[in-house]
């Protein structure tokens, strides 16, 4: 159950990114975002790091989208605060999902504590 609570925000974040890229007709990125969470079935350290990298890149994409939409709405004289707040929340959620691997159950499953015990 604790693993599911750690995996759920990761899957939701990638699903939101897939929907975002689908709207932009970027089908290769849709496929990547749809398939990326499948790696979560492999309990390895590199999977956790790949997920964290992908989620961080996703958060950056949301921030870039926020800036683009805000600029467009400002140029058209339309309100932009609400859309900016929504996208900021999605970006924060996506970035926070990368920290799911700090949960003890996730840390144990993906063997993140083993790297700290190795000598340099």
**Could you tell me the residue range of the domain that residue 82 belongs to?**
2-115
Residue 3, pLDDT score:
87
> Would 40 be classed as within a structural domain?
yes
In a domain, 120, yes or no: no
Q: Is residue 44 part of a domain?
A: yes
Residue 72 near residue 50 (C-beta atoms within 8 A): no
- Does 90 fall in a domain? yes
Res. 98 pLDDT band, cuts 50 70 90: very high
Instruction: Say if residues 9 and 96 touch (Cβ distance below 8 Å).
Output: yes
pLDDT for res 119: 47
In a domain, 39, yes or no: yes
* Within-domain flag for 16: yes
Q: Do residues 50 and 39 lie in contact, with contact meaning Cβ atoms separated by under 8 Å?
A: yes
Q: How many domains does the chain have?
A: 1
Cα–Cα distance for residue pair 97/53, rounded to 1 Å = 11
List, for residues 37-75, the tens digit of each pLDDT value. 999 999 999 999 999 999 999 999 999 999 999 999 999
């Amino acid at each position: 159950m604790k693993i599911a609570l750690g995996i759920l925000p990761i899957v939701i974040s990638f699903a939101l990114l897939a929907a975002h890229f689908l709207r932009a007709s970027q089908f290769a990125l849709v496929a990547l975002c749809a398939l990326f969470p499948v790696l979560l079935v492999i309990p390895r350290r590199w999977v956790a790091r790949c997920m964290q990298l992908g989620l961080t890149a996703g958060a950056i994409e949301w921030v870039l989208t926020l800036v683009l939409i805000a600029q467009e709405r400002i140029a058209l004289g339309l309100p932009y605060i609400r859309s900016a707040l929504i996208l900021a929340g999605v970006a924060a959620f996506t970035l926070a999902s990368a920290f799911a691997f700090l949960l003890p159950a996730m840390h144990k499953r993906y063997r993140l504590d083993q790297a700290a015990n190795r000598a340099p």
